[in-house]
């Protein structure tokens, strides 16, 4: 559950012997070369203890390492938390160090933390990275236990700066970083909700709350209106559930003088059994995360609502439960979508691409002239990239280039898959315009799934992002928590808000 640190501020660092921040611990971030130089903590006995850890190979300064050194009264802090940065200081390694420091502070039940900014990176970048890391590192999944013990909370953090730092600039950097981290944690919260607590109607209610808070225009189509508009794909996918589908739309006009309108479409399958093409029950509980694309888009829109970038956006979230019942759609069905194209259904577990196709068409009808879709689309992407990278497919490499730059700025890993005609040919159907699966062949599954969606983008510049491996983790991995990661919120925010963030 996202718990906001109530107070993150900056203060000028004077010396380790002073504790103007009144913190329980101080965090020192070190590169490998700085550790080798020794005498980094300003107290001989603590420096000796740190060098002892280095000699034993316990702490080498590598990124991801963190050690808590009790000060035993030698400094006016209970602990010094020493975090490794690896060979060089970067925004990515600083963010990671801050995540680990926040987790350790919670484990030690510390309430106040001071973090010294390294001098090897500009203060604004350091403040953004450390603030994001603190807020992302304190994230925990909500508990529904009857007698949940009181959880530790990190209530205050002070970022210790050089005397020459611009206080107003850094205060703005903190506020921006808080907004981005809040958007990421908001997406995590939505994705982690159990399937019985988040159905299409309640996802629509959440989107309406966000729209009201941020001043976005909002439209929600119910199942009758979805069918009346001719969205046979979304109707079919949602037909097997007692919780009917919804089509959710948010609109933001940040640049009314521009004709450029970006459509962002997010997969909102609130639970996915696979339908008639039933999934293996082992691990099916993860399918609460099948609306991770929708959650990431709503998280990004939280950032947009606060930072007000000069862009025009149409956000479309087709939402359904893919369940099995006597009313469920079947393998072999042919359904007609909003675009007028027919789809031969070979696999009812390939439902996300069908509802995303509806979303792309609707976004175009509303005026979008560029498109991005985000979806936990395939298990096949895990075969290609594991849980490390998000896959991208596009019909316009020039459109993708700045987006990949935004991903690099946000330190989220995205890798492009090919868009060759041979892959598109694998989706040809004998009875419909296109089929939703390649049939018995599972070759190039992540690529062909993306290209099915691209069929409905037609000539409109389009990017598909498959977060099937990155939106959810079975256990904590590096800086990412167990469960929902909120992946792509930072990248989308970076792409939409530009230099206002990174």
Give 67's strand partners. Answer: 82
pLDDT at 5 over 90: no
Phi, psi of 21 (to 5 degrees): -75, -10
Condensed to tens digits (0 to 9), the pLDDT of residues 43-95 reads 899 999 999 999 999 999 999 999 999 999 999 999 999 999 999 999 999 99
State the Cα–Cα distance between residues 303 and 446, nearest whole angstrom. 29
Cβ distance 155 to 138 under 8 Å?
no
- pTM for the full model? 0.96
290 annotated to bind ligand: yes
List helix spans (H) across 245-371.
292-307, 352-365
Mean local confidence (pLDDT), 87-107: 96
Residue 39: per-residue pLDDT:
80
Residue 40: per-residue pLDDT:
84
Q: How confident is the model at residue 392 (pLDDT cuts 50, 70, 90)?
A: very high
267 annotated to bind ligand: yes
pLDDT at 197 over 80: yes
Condensed to tens digits (0 to 9), the pLDDT of residues 218-247 reads 999 999 999 999 999 999 999 999 999 999
Which tokens sit at 367?
């005026």
State the Cα–Cα distance between residues 263 and 362, nearest whole angstrom. 9
Range of weakest confidence among 116-125, 189-198, 348-357, 460-469: 116-125
Burial group, residue 226, by CB count within 10 angstroms (0-12, 13-18, 19+): buried
Q: How confident is the model at residue 3 (pLDDT cuts 50, 70, 90)?
A: low
State the Cα–Cα distance between residues 394 and 371, nearest whole angstrom. 10
351 annotated to bind ligand: yes
349 annotated to bind ligand: yes
Which tokens sit at 333?
């069905």
The 3-class secondary structure across 428-465, one letter per residue, is CCCCCCEECCCCCCCCCHHHHHHHHHHHHHCCCCEEEE
Q: How confident is the model at residue 330 (pLDDT cuts 50, 70, 90)?
A: very high
Q: How confident is the model at residue 162 (pLDDT cuts 50, 70, 90)?
A: confident
Q: How confident is the model at residue 109 (pLDDT cuts 50, 70, 90)?
A: very high
Residue 105: per-residue pLDDT:
96
Handedness of CA 133, 135, 137, 139 (dihedral sign): negative
Mean local confidence (pLDDT), 29-46: 90
The share of the chain scoring above pLDDT 90, in percent, equals 90
Condensed to tens digits (0 to 9), the pLDDT of residues 336-368 reads 999 999 999 999 999 999 999 999 999 999 999
Catalytically annotated residues: 279, 353
Which residue in 108, 408, 106, 460 sits closest to 263, CA to CA?
460
Domains and CATH numbers, the chain: 7-166 (3.40.220.10), 187-500 (3.40.630.10)
Question: What rounded mean pLDDT belongs to the chain?
Answer: 95
State the Cα–Cα distance between residues 497 and 406, nearest whole angstrom. 10
Sheet holding 342-344, edge to edge: 334-336, 342-344, 434-435
State the Cα–Cα distance between residues 398 and 419, nearest whole angstrom. 14
Q: How confident is the model at residue 6 (pLDDT cuts 50, 70, 90)?
A: low
């Amino acid at each position: 559950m996202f718990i906001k640190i109530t107070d993150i501020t900056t203060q000028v660092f004077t010396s380790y012997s002073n504790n103007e921040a009144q913190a329980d611990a101080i965090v020192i971030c070190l590169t490998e070369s700085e550790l080798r130089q020794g005498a980094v903590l300003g107290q001989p006995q603590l420096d000796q203890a740190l060098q002892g850890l280095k000699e034993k190979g316990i702490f080498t300064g590598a990124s991801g390492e963190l050690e808590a050194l009790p000060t035993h009264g030698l400094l006016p802090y209970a602990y010094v938390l020493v975090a490794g940065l690896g060979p060089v200081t970067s925004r990515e390694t600083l963010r990671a160090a801050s995540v680990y420091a926040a987790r350790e502070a919670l484990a030690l039940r510390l309430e106040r933390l001071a973090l010294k900014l390294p001098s090897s990176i500009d203060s604004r970048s350091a403040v953004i990275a450390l603030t994001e890391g603190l807020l992302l590192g304190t994230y925990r999944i909500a508990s529904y236990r009857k007698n949940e013990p009181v959880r530790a909370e990190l209530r205050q953090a002070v970022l210790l700066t050089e005397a020459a730092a611009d206080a107003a600039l850094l205060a703005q950097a903190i506020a921006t970083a808080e907004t981005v981290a809040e958007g990421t944690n908001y997406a995590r919260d939505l994705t982690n909700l159990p399937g019985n607590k988040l159905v299409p109607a309640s996802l629509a209610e959440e989107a309406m709350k966000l729209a009201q808070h941020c001043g976005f225009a909002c439209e929600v189509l119910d199942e009758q209106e979805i069918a009346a508009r001719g969205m046979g794909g979304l109707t079919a996918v949602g037909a097997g559930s007692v919780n009917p589908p919804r089509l959710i739309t948010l609109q933001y006009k940040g640049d009314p003088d521009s004709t450029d309108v970006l459509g962002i479409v997010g997969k909102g399958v609130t639970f996915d059994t696979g339908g008639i093409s039933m999934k293996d029950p082992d691990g099916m509980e993860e399918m609460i995360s099948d609306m991770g694309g929708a959650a990431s888009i709503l998280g990004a829109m939280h950032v947009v609502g606060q930072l007000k970038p000069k862009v025009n956006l149409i956000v479309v979230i087709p939402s359904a439960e893919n369940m099995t019942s006597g009313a469920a759609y079947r393998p072999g069905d042919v359904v007609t979508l909003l675009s007028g194209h027919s789809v031969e259904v070979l696999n009812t577990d390939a439902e996300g691409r069908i509802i995303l196709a509806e979303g792309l068409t609707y976004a175009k009808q509303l005026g979008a002239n560029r498109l991005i879709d985000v979806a936990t689309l395939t298990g096949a992407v895990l075969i290609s990239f594991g849980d490390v990278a998000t896959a991208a497919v596009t019909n316009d490499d020039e459109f993708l280039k700045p987006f990949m730059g935004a991903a690099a700025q946000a330190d989220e890993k995205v890798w492009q898959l090919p868009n060759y005609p041979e892959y598109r040919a694998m989706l040809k159907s004998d009875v419909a315009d296109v089929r939703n699966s390649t049939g018995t062949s599972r070759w190039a599954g992540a690529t062909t799934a993306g290209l099915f969606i691209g069929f409905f983008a037609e000539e409109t510049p389009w990017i598909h992002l498959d977060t099937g491996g990155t939106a959810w983790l079975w256990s904590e991995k590096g800086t990412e928590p167990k469960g929902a990661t909120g992946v792509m919120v930072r990248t989308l925010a970076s792409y939409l808000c530009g230099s206002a963030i990174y």
